[in-house]
């Protein structure tokens, strides 16, 4: 993984920042950076981006760093309302594969915050300072530097806690999503990532708030909800397509999570989303159904 290293001999020079709210179907425009470095912090939903030719999905708590002289562009349209913070600084930076550098701070290309609340506090402070009048020169520079320090400190603490397994929960989440048809056990997932099953279970629960089985069920249920909203397939067929071998178990689990049976859920919404060409069929549907529910709800239920 590439990293960006900054010297702290002087504060970073603040350039600009903001909080962006993206509607359904929004896509990041192509932007080529000059000497500035940008950080994006996911606040809600999902934003699909591509930096230096590689795709990234920015979710709540994710941090993406765009290094100087790189290009960022939307990889695809958003499939739910999403928001993220963006901030630019201009400062001498070195980009290489070292995970840390002495006498400065280091940000990786992409990682998930362990202490998201602390970073959000710094984000709000920077937004306030940067849009206010201060008698003290360079107030925004110092506040931007503090935000970068907080992000770098979060990353460093994760590396210190376990330098070999930093970011493993994000990798496991993506692997479960792309292998949901296999319904892998915790032992199988741990074996794939060369980890102890107990350690993986503990770290995943800490980072996501769910155990692995709960997350796996949630991924498959989200896919089932998508099928219920966008097809006329029978419930039993939806259950099978969402990789539930027992339709009765599927219905019980569905009702427990949503307080509606699959049939009741389907009747609550229209099917006008069917064959909508603005959504890539390959998009992760974990958040997509939330927007469908809002947009396609029957008038009587609004």
Q: Would you state the structure tokens that stand for residue 237, as one six-digit string?
A: 């067929």
Any long-range contacts for 54-59 (C-beta under 8 Å, 24+ apart)? 56/110, 57/284, 58/84
| Residue 63 backbone dihedrals phi, psi, to 5 degrees | -125, 125
Average pLDDT of the chain is 84
What span, in angstroms and rounded, lies between the C-alpha atoms of 164 and 286?
A: 28
Convert 131-183 into a string of H (helix), E (strand) and C (coil): CCCCCCCCHHHHHHHHHHHHHHHHHHHHHHHCCCCCCHHHHHHHHHHHCHHHC
Q: How many CB atoms lie within 10 A of CB 44?
A: 16
- The SS3 call for residue 9 is coil
Residue range 49-99, pLDDT digits in tens: 999 999 999 999 999 999 999 999 999 998 888 999 999 999 888 988 877
Q: Are 110 and 18 in contact (CB under 8 A)?
A: no
Three-state DSSP class for 252?
helix
DSSP state of 29: P
HSE-CB at 60 with a 13 A cutoff on CA atoms is: 12
Q: Which of 53-62, 129-138, 246-255 has the lowest mean pLDDT?
A: 129-138
- CA atoms of 259 and 236, how far apart (whole Å): 19
Asked if residue 242 has pLDDT above 60, the reply is: yes
**271-281 tens-digit pLDDT:** 434 433 333 33
CA neighbor of 158 nearest in space, from 206, 197, 87: 206
- The predicted structure's pLDDT at residue 287: 53
- The residues of the chain that CATH labels 2.60.120.280 are 3-161+272-296
| pLDDT the model gives residue 293 | 60
Matching residue, tokens 């998930």: 112
CATH 1.10.10.60 domain residues, the chain: 168-268
The torsion angles phi and psi of 187, rounded to 5 degrees, stand at -60, -40
* CATH code of the region 168-268: 1.10.10.60
Please state the pTM of the whole predicted model. Answer: 0.58
Q: Does domain 3-161+272-296 have CATH number 2.60.40.10?
A: no
Residue (of 167, 66, 150, 162) closest to 115 by Cα position: 150
208 torsion bin: left (phi>0), alpha (psi -120 to 50), beta (else): alpha
């Amino acid at each position: 993984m590439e990293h960006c290293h900054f010297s702290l001999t002087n504060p970073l020079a603040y350039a600009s920042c903001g909080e962006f709210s993206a509607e359904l179907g929004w896509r990041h425009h192509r932007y080529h950076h000059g000497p500035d470095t940008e950080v994006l912090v996911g606040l809600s939903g999902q934003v699909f981006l591509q930096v230096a030719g590689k795709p990234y999905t920015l979710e709540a708590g994710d941090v993406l760093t765009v290094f100087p002289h790189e290009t960022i562009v939307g990889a695809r349209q958003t499939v739910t309302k999403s928001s993220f913070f963006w901030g630019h600084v201009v400062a001498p930076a070195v980009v290489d594969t070292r995970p840390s550098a002495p006498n400065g701070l280091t940000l990786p290309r992409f990682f998930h915050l362990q202490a998201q609340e602390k970073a959000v506090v710094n984000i709000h402070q920077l937004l306030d300072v940067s849009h206010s009048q201060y008698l003290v020169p360079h107030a925004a520079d110092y506040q931007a530097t503090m935000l970068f320090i907080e992000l770098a400190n979060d990353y460093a603490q994760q590396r210190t806690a376990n330098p070999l397994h930093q970011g493993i929960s994000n990798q496991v989440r993506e692997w479960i999503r792309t292998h949901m048809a296999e319904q892998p056990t915790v032992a199988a997932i741990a074996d794939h990532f060369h980890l102890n099953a107990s350690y993986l279970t503990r770290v995943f629960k800490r980072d996501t708030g769910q155990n692995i089985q709960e997350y796996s069920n949630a991924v498959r249920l989200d896919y089932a909800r998508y099928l219920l909203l966008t097809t006329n397939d029978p419930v039993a067929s939806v259950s099978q397509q969402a990789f539930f071998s027992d339709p009765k178990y599927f219905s019980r689990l569905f009702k427990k999570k949503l307080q509606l049976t699959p049939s009741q859920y389907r009747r609550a919404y229209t099917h006008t989303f069917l064959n909508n060409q603005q959504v890539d069929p390959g998009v992760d549907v974990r958040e997509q159904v939330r927007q469908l529910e809002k947009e396609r709800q029957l008038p009587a239920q609004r």
